[in-house]
Amino acid sequence: MPAPIKPTANKIKLYLIKPAYKDFMKILKDPAAAALRSTVLPGIGTLYYKQSFPQTPEWLKDFFENHPALHLGDFKVSSTSAVLLVEQKIKTDSRIFALTFGGGRHLLHEFATEGRFGLITTLNIVEPAGLRSMIKTTLSANPKISAEQVSRASDTKDFQINIEQDIVESITGSNTHPDFGKIISGKDALSVTGKITAKTLSPFLKKIFLLYSKKDYRTNFKWIDQIQEIKDSKLIDQLNSILLDGINKVIDIPLWMAVPEIIDWSDFNGFKYSNRKTDDLHEDLDLEVYISAKGGKPISYDDLKHDIVSCWRESKDNSVLQWSVFKCLNSELTHGIDLYFLDKGKWYKLERSFVKEVKKVVAEIKIYPKVLPDFKHKDEGDYNLALATSLKALLLDARNVPYGGGASKIEVCDILTPQQEFFHIKKYGGSSTLSHLFAQGFVSGELFASDSIFREKVKKHLSVGPPYNAFFSKDRPAIHQYKVIYGVITASKKGISIPFFSQVTLKNYKRILEGYGYTLYLAEIKNINPPSKPPKKKKAVKP
């Protein structure tokens, strides 16, 4: 009689399916579901998988051009993707779970899984002082995804969390539950290690769901809910409707595309707005390129959900990452009295007190008292030259100063006046443009106030004469005599309109610059250039 197989510790990657998805085929990504094979495992679930075939890497053809000295049969790659769908009865209800193997997560419809299932489960059983790593997104004009890992287990203080702007997406740490190994990790999926097999799956799923349902995490991680994900389907529909109006140019809202997760740029080959090998690769994501690819027809919500963005690696022939277009969209909009932000396919409501405080601080910035000339020039460079002439000031636009080693260069300002005014001027171009403008003024202002070496380098590199050479002395200047002026060129009749997360950037820089002693101003520059008219379409001539 053969000895019984001893259970081994298996790494489990588990997703919880939303209650609205009852049909297994709708849980799977369409059209991939049609090409999948499946096997029913009685008493367990249904395994869906893609049949694997060895393939010759594309780089042999593209780079080596199938060189005759190479034996093509020696170079083969293959990958495996499978997902086990299990319907588990829990008390009087039942829920569907998905266990993924290999690249199996790419077989799941991304809207079918419960967001933060793995994260909340992990927070309920992780050791609060045993955190090892964290992935978070900082909501801003240019949202930043960061992954942090500490060498020794610690609590949240070592991860520098900003509860007003950070969305924690993933946490890994020491597990307090005896059945699930020493380390637990959670994002949308839960990753645990335990002596779990297909035969012992049912009690494991019940136990996990019970842990997920608890609110214990609020004792040590209450701040995790500071930025609230919207769950109300009616409100989500309203926000999506506004989003579509923005995409289809019915209204003007901050809107852009971004990669929704950390990728390895050193092994990056390009993006496609499909998963077809024959389509063109793009170096970056661009909403206008996607819209153009749709042939000018209005974009629908179904388009955003089903159209694919794929990320292609140099080292593999197949796209290794792909997301819906919707998951790659970012937007910021006001609805009612609240401000909402779209990130990675989820809508978030920002805390009202936070929004109110940011707007209050920005509203306190002084308006520059002098009327600046209108913008009727070819570009910013021409305007800066004309403004410097009218102010009898020093033009420093594009005259960068090497500083900090390597290729680092600092632009002191666009225009420096004898009245000790640093002008930074930019044509309005949305959140990222304004945030860049505010950062430019901050970096220059901080170095000018605090770094004598920088001041000396400016004087030497730019060869500035009187009275400006006296500004850049080795001795610390009297900063309270200096002004930082952000000039925004805008065609809007409503004046300067700063997107919220650019206001957050400005608020933070204002606090630091005013701490040095500067006086900050905002200056509106009216753009009176007529908008360029599209060429008239020629009427078709009848034969």
Q: What is the pLDDT of residues 220-277, one digit of tens each?
A: 998 888 787 888 889 999 999 999 999 998 888 888 888 888 887 777 888 999 888 8
Our measurement of the distance from residue 81's CA atom to the centroid of its chain's CA atoms, rounded to an integer in Å, reads 27
Question: According to the model, what pLDDT value does residue 185 have?
Answer: 95
Question: According to the model, what pLDDT value does residue 114 have?
Answer: 92
How big is the chain by its Cα radius of gyration, in Å? 28
Report the distance separating Cα 383 and Cα 388, nearest Å.
Answer: 9
Question: According to the model, what pLDDT value does residue 4 have?
Answer: 56
H or E element: which one contains 240? helix 233-247
Cβ pair 117, 189 in contact under 8 A: yes
Report the distance separating Cα 480 and Cα 414, nearest Å.
Answer: 20
Using DSSP bridges, classify how beta strands 166-175 and 366-367 pair: parallel, antiparallel or unpaired.
unpaired
Report the distance separating Cα 501 and Cα 499, nearest Å.
Answer: 6
Our measurement of the distance from residue 300's CA atom to the centroid of its chain's CA atoms, rounded to an integer in Å, reads 22
Report the distance separating Cα 251 and Cα 434, nearest Å.
Answer: 20
Nearest Cα neighbor of 111 from 208, 26, 235 is 26
Nearest Cα neighbor of 129 from 171, 167, 98 is 171
Task: Quote the DSSP letter at residue 108.
Answer: B
Q: Where are the beta strands (DSSP E) in 205-258?
A: 228-229, 255-257
Its pTM surpasses 0.85: no
Own/partner pairs for 458-463, CB < 8 Å, 24+ apart?
A: 458/401, 458/412, 461/401, 461/402, 462/396, 462/399, 462/401, 462/412
Burial class (CB in 10 A: 0-12, 13-18, 19+), 1: exposed
* CB environment 268-287: b (16+ within 10 A), e (fewer): ebebbbeeeeeeeeeeebeb
Cβ pair 56, 76 in contact under 8 A: yes
Task: Quote the DSSP letter at residue 156.
Answer: G
* Average pLDDT in the chain: 87
Chunk the chain into consecutive blocks of 10 residues (it has 543) and report each block's average pLDDT, rounded to whole numbers. 63 93 88 79 92 77 81 78 93 92 88 91 94 88 84 87 85 90 92 89 94 92 83 92 94 87 81 86 89 89 92 69 91 92 90 90 95 92 95 94 78 96 89 86 96 93 88 93 96 84 91 97 88 42 35
Report the distance separating Cα 230 and Cα 264, nearest Å.
Answer: 30
Listing from the earlier edge strand, what are the strands of the sheet with 483-490? 366-367, 519-526, 483-490, 421-427, 415-416, 394-395
Which residues, in sequence order, are bridge partners of residue 334?
339
What the block records as the tokens of 116 is 């933060």
